[in-house]
A and B are shown apart, each in its own frame.
Chain A
Amino acid sequence: MSVFGGILVAGIGAYLMRASFILLLSGVVFPARVVRILDHVGPAVMAALVATTLTGKDGQLEAGLIECVTLTVMAGVTLWRRDLLSGLMVALVVFFVGNAIL
C-alpha cells in the first residue's frame, strides 16, 4: 500500500466511524433511559482523555507538583467563573510562574 493509499484508507475509516451510528440510527426512536445513559459518554470520554494525556507512553503518570497545582487551579477557576478561557489563562499563568520559580 502506498502512503497516499494509507492516508486515504485511514481517512475513510475515520469518517465511517464518525458517521456510522449517526447514519444508521437516523430513523430509530431512542428510549428516554438510553438517551440519559448516552449523556454520560461526554464526561466519561473527557475524564479518560484527561487521564490519558497526563500519562507517558508506558502508562506512567507524568504529572508532577506544578501540573497538579495547575489542574487544581483550572478546575477551581472554571467552576467559579463557568468560563473555559478564564480557567485556561489563569492555569497557564500558574504553570509558567510555577516552572520559573521551582
Chain B
Amino acid sequence: MKSTTSIIRLACRDVAVLFLPALPFALLFGVMVVESGVPQLLGWSSSIIMFGGAAQMTLMTLIGEGAAVSAAVTTTLIVTARHILYSVTLAPRFQGQPAWFRWLGPYVLIDQVFALTQVKELSDDADFRRYYLAAGFMFWGLWVSFTGLGIILAPIIPETLGIDIAIPLLFLGLLLMAIKRRNQVVTALVSGGAALALAGMDNQVGLIIAVLIALTVAAFNEPRVS
C-alpha cells in the first residue's frame, strides 16, 4: 500500500498528461454552448451533470441545429453507450470496494479515467480507490473549469485550434501502454480495423460494434484455463 500523498502525486501527473489534449476541446465546448443559443449557465451545467465531452458536444450541437431535445438526448445516449463496456470491465475491480465508492466512482468513469485504470498496476484495493478518485475528480475539476473558461472566452477562441491530432495520439499512447499480452495486439488490430471500416455509421455506433467484434475474436483467442 502506497502513501496517499504519493498516490495523489501520481494521479496529478497522469491527469496533467491526459488533460493536455482535452484542453482545446474543453475550450471549444464553451464556444459550442455560446453558438448553440442555449443559456450559458445551463450549457455549462452539462459539464457537472453529464461530465462527458463527446456526449456534451453532441447534445449542444443538435440543440443548436434546432433538433428536438428528446431526439438530441436519444442520440447523446447512443454516443455514451460505450460506457457500458467500461462498467462491465471494471465490475470485478470494484467488487472489493466499499459501497459508497461503487456508487460514486461511476460518475467520473469517462474514456480517460477508464484508460488509466487499464494502464496502471494498482493491485491494492485502497490504492486503486484513492488513485481512481484523485484522477477522476481532478479531471472533472479541470473539465468543469476549462469549459466555463471556454464560454467566457468564446468571442476570442478560433473555431479550430489545429491540434485535433492530440486526441488520437493520446489514445494511441494509452493503447500501447495498456497492451500486456500478445493476443491483445490481435484484439486491438481487429478493433481498429473494424472501427475504420464502420466509421461512416451515425453516432459512433460503429465504434461499439467494432469493440464487440474484437471481443468475440478475443474470446476465441483466449486459452481455456483448466
Contact = CB atoms under 8 A, between A and B. Distances in A.
Interface of A: 1-11, 13-15, 17-28, 30, 32-33, 35-55, 58-61, 63, 67, 70-71, 74-75, 78-79, 82, 84-85, 87-88, 91-92, 95, 99
Interface string B188-212: 1111111110111100101100110
A70 B169 contact: yes
Contact of B87 (A22, A40, A52, A71): A22
Contact of B206 (A33, A52, A92): A52
A50 B167 CA distance: 8
B133 to A, nearest CB: 14
A15 B187 contact: no
A59 B77 contact: no
B17 A82 contact: no
Contacts of B172: 46, 50, 71, 74-75, 78
B219 A37 contact: yes
B164 to A, nearest CB: 8
Q: How large is the interface on B (under 10, 10 to 19, 20 to 34, 35 or more residues)?
A: 35 or more
Contact of A78 (B49, B70, B167, B173): B173
A48 B89 contact: no
Contacts of B68: 1
10 contacts: A1-B68, A24-B91, A40-B214, A47-B188, A48-B192, A48-B211, A50-B192, A51-B196, A75-B176, A87-B169
A22 B94 contact: yes
A21 B87 contact: yes
Contact of A52 (B105, B188, B199): B199
A45 B82 contact: yes
A26 B52 CA distance: 24
B168 A6 contact: no
B195 A51 contact: yes
A14 B46 CA distance: 12
